[in-house]
Amino acid sequence: MAETTEKPSLNFIEQIIEKDLASDKWGGRVQTRFPPEPNGYLHIGHAKSICLNFGLAQKYNGSFNLRFDDTNPIKEEDEYVEAIENDIRWLGYDLDGKVLFASDYFEQFYDHAITLIKKGLAYVCDLSSEETREYRGTLTAPGKDSPYRNRTVEENLDLFERMRAGEFPDGSKTLRAKIDMASPNLNMRDPVMYRILHAHHHRSGDKWCIYPMYDWAHGLEDSIENVTHSICTLEFENHRPLYDWFLDQLGVFHSQQIEFARLNLGYTVMSKRKLLELVRDKHVRGWDDPRMPTIRGFKRRGYTPSSIRTFCERIGVARMNSRIDIAVLENCIREDLNKRAPRVMCVLDPLKVVIENYPEGQTEEMDAVNNPEDESAGSRKIPFSRELYIERSDFMEDAPKKFFRLAPGREVRLRYAYFVTCTDVIKNDAGEVIELRCTYDPATRGGDSPDGRKVRGTIHWVSAHHAADIEVRLYDRLFNEENPDKTPEGKSWLDAMNPESLTTKANCKLESSWIEAANAVSWPDGINRVQFERTGYFCVDQDSSDDKPVFNRTVTLRDSWAKIQSKS
């Protein structure tokens, strides 16, 4: 195995770029861009695109533009442009204050349209939208020419000017490219370039009442910005001939469009329309609901920017439609948080334990390591006393052999504290366990037995009188179907929603040391993340207040006991 020359396997886009660099196609330049429409929040699929485009520019010493593709005033709002910028910055990409808008190019688009009209390659059409559809033909049948197709250049020029001037009502006229109504590619059947829309634009205001269509505008945006590699998703593949046609006819700088497969993640949806519907109809609490696959959702859930970047690199770039297993993302966040998150003990489902042979009213300070993966994180003191809480699931009355935790007569270690043995089980009238009686071995202080006695289990705990009451929100997949987009006959994708995607635990008990040190732990994005030992990674939610801290579970720890259980 010769591993001296590790060849850096390139994805297909990198291969194209390196070939272009070798042939000096673009004079050594690499210019990419990310062109969101400001009509919604960014999701993890957009993160893939941002990482790709930004990463390529970085890798090849090129540059990257954030450009808002704001050509439809009806759907676009400033709220979204701010949100998108924030999300991109949070992801860790510095924009250098350079933010571009397609709407700034409207005048140039207009001039180019005039050029096309003069070349006899565009005409004003009076067909209604329904008529336009009828004339377009179908996938298998060719379309037919619009009766307005052969207007003279002079007439077209005049009409187009008057369209801009606002002489005609919405929908009454369009400017269309004159290409080929019989093309097997429907995009080439005289596509609409401009529609009349007397609408207020979030940036250009009321200056325009005609707005360019995507196909007409997009290539020009790329051309104006001298974009070399215009990377978009697969559904634009059929549009490439048109993209090329416009730029060719105009003879302007011709960027190369390259398509890749968009990201699909298991057990969630990624379309803007569906995400919007989830928010609008209150199936989730908002765009930043921790169950949402939006950037803000992941942020609020406790994901780190670097974990998302790692994820985007790990999933690769290709042209095959695929669906990524959510486990890959979870692995990325665990990997990051394992190294960075301070540990703390928190009991999610408290069961009271009384240490019968421990002096009443006594409290001891136990030493606890803050992060075994990071020595510099230091250690802390945690209070131990006679009355404690442990996790209800850490006790079993009839425990199987493989259960290494507490059970009648069994001894376990309370992490960083003592060995305890369960001596009695107290139940209520309904037969439910409400309290445990235990004895402790004073010789095991700190968690080791001088006689060399071993225990299989170590469980977490908190001192009852010292613990803070907190609320914890546990999240699960938003959908029960791996692919909610594929709904069975007569069902809606909403039927696939998981009714248990959010579980709120109102009476959790958190180690008091964390409350005291809370603000000492600072993460660059201001989100406070911790590991609750043995249960998972959590972060402080924005709903938190001093008297009622609220935590979100980012992701569980890998749990081999759960695996053993699910097998039986």
Select from 24, 490, 563, 568 the one that contacts RNA (CB under 7 A). 563
Q: Are 57 and 30 spatial neighbours (Cβ–Cβ below 8 Å)?
A: yes
In the bound state with RNA, the residue whose beta carbon lies nearer, of 289 and 474, is: 474
Select from 261, 354, 425, 502 the one that contacts RNA (CB under 7 A). 261
Point out which span in 47-55, 235-243, 434-442, 467-475 binds RNA (CB under 7 A).
235-243
Q: Residue 109 CB, nearest distance to RNA (Å)?
A: 11
Q: Which residue has the tokens 């995400």?
A: 275
> Looking at 37, 76, 259, 411, which residue is catalytic?
37
Q: Are 377 and 383 spatial neighbours (Cβ–Cβ below 8 Å)?
A: no
Instruction: Please choose, from the candidates 37, 49, 193, 46, the residue with its C-alpha nearest in 3D space to the C-alpha of residue 101.
Output: 37
Select from 86, 331, 423, 498 the one that contacts RNA (CB under 7 A). 331
Three-class secondary structure of residue 154 per DSSP: helix
Could you give the CA distance from residue 142 to residue 184 in angstroms, rounded to a whole number? 7
Select from 150, 226, 238, 542 the one that contacts RNA (CB under 7 A). 238
Site for RNA in 187-206 (CB under 7 A): 187, 191-192, 195-197
Instruction: Please choose, from the candidates 176, 180, 174, the residue with its C-alpha nearest in 3D space to the C-alpha of residue 137.
Output: 180
Q: Are 62 and 228 spatial neighbours (Cβ–Cβ below 8 Å)?
A: yes
Site for RNA in 15-54 (CB under 7 A): 15, 35, 37
Q: Are 513 and 344 spatial neighbours (Cβ–Cβ below 8 Å)?
A: yes
**Is 339 an active-site residue?**
no
Could you give the CA distance from residue 68 to residue 84 in angstroms, rounded to a whole number? 9
Point out which span in 156-164, 170-178, 245-253, 352-360 binds RNA (CB under 7 A).
170-178
Q: Residue 327 CB, nearest distance to RNA (Å)?
A: 4
Q: Residue 399 CB, nearest distance to RNA (Å)?
A: 8
64 touches RNA by CB under 7 A:
no
Select from 4, 23, 61, 138 the one that contacts RNA (CB under 7 A). 138
Site for RNA in 457-486 (CB under 7 A): 457-459
In the bound state with RNA, the residue whose beta carbon lies nearer, of 155 and 543, is: 155
In the bound state with RNA, the residue whose beta carbon lies nearer, of 133 and 381, is: 133
- Give the N- to C-terminal CA distance of the chain in Å, as an integer: 42
Q: Residue 496 CB, nearest distance to RNA (Å)?
A: 16
Select from 153, 165, 234, 506 the one that contacts RNA (CB under 7 A). 234
Select from 47, 56, 127, 181 the one that contacts RNA (CB under 7 A). 127
Site string for RNA, 376-415 (x = CB under 7 A): --------------------------xxxx-------x-x
Site for RNA in 76-115 (CB under 7 A): none
> Looking at 48, 240, 272, 509, which residue is catalytic?
272
Burial 76-110 (b: 16+ CB within 10 A, else e): beeebbebbbebbebbbbeeeeeebbbbebbeebb
What is the helix (H) or strand (E) element at residue 389, kind and residue range? Answer: strand 387-391
Q: How many residues bind RNA (CB under 7 A)?
A: 96
Amino acid of residue 534: R
What is the helix (H) or strand (E) element at residue 354, kind and residue range? Answer: strand 350-355
In the bound state with RNA, the residue whose beta carbon lies nearer, of 160 and 416, is: 416
In the bound state with RNA, the residue whose beta carbon lies nearer, of 387 and 448, is: 448
Q: Residue 476 CB, nearest distance to RNA (Å)?
A: 17
In the bound state with RNA, the residue whose beta carbon lies nearer, of 253 and 561, is: 561
Q: Residue 314 CB, nearest distance to RNA (Å)?
A: 6
Instruction: Please choose, from the candidates 485, 479, 537, 532, the residue with its C-alpha nearest in 3D space to the C-alpha of residue 509.
Output: 532
In the bound state with RNA, the residue whose beta carbon lies nearer, of 195 and 291, is: 195
522 touches RNA by CB under 7 A:
no
Site string for RNA, 411-450 (x = CB under 7 A): --x-xxx----------------------------xxx--
The strand order across the sheet containing 174-177 reads 122-125, 174-177, 192-196, 210-212
In the bound state with RNA, the residue whose beta carbon lies nearer, of 373 and 424, is: 373
Site for RNA in 334-363 (CB under 7 A): 334-335, 338, 343
Sign of the CA dihedral with 137 first, then 142, 148, and 154 last: positive
Task: Report residue 263 CA to chain centroid gap.
Answer: 11
514 touches RNA by CB under 7 A:
no
Q: Which two tokens stand for residue 197?
A: 């829309």
| φ, ψ at 323 (rounded to 5°) | -130, 125
Strands (E), 35-190: 63-68, 99-101, 122-125, 174-177
In the bound state with RNA, the residue whose beta carbon lies nearer, of 94 and 325, is: 325
Amino acid of residue 312: C
Instruction: Please choose, from the candidates 263, 245, 255, the residue with its C-alpha nearest in 3D space to the C-alpha of residue 224.
Output: 255
Q: Residue 105 CB, nearest distance to RNA (Å)?
A: 13
Q: Are 202 and 70 spatial neighbours (Cβ–Cβ below 8 Å)?
A: yes
Could you give the CA distance from residue 383 to residue 463 in angstroms, rounded to a whole number? 6
| Beta-bridge partners for 260 | 233
> Looking at 262, 274, 352, 505, which residue is catalytic?
262
Rg (CA), the chain: 31
Q: Residue 546 CB, nearest distance to RNA (Å)?
A: 27
**Is 330 an active-site residue?**
no
What is the helix (H) or strand (E) element at residue 539, kind and residue range? Answer: strand 536-540
**Is 221 an active-site residue?**
no
* Catalytic annotation, residues: 37, 262, 272
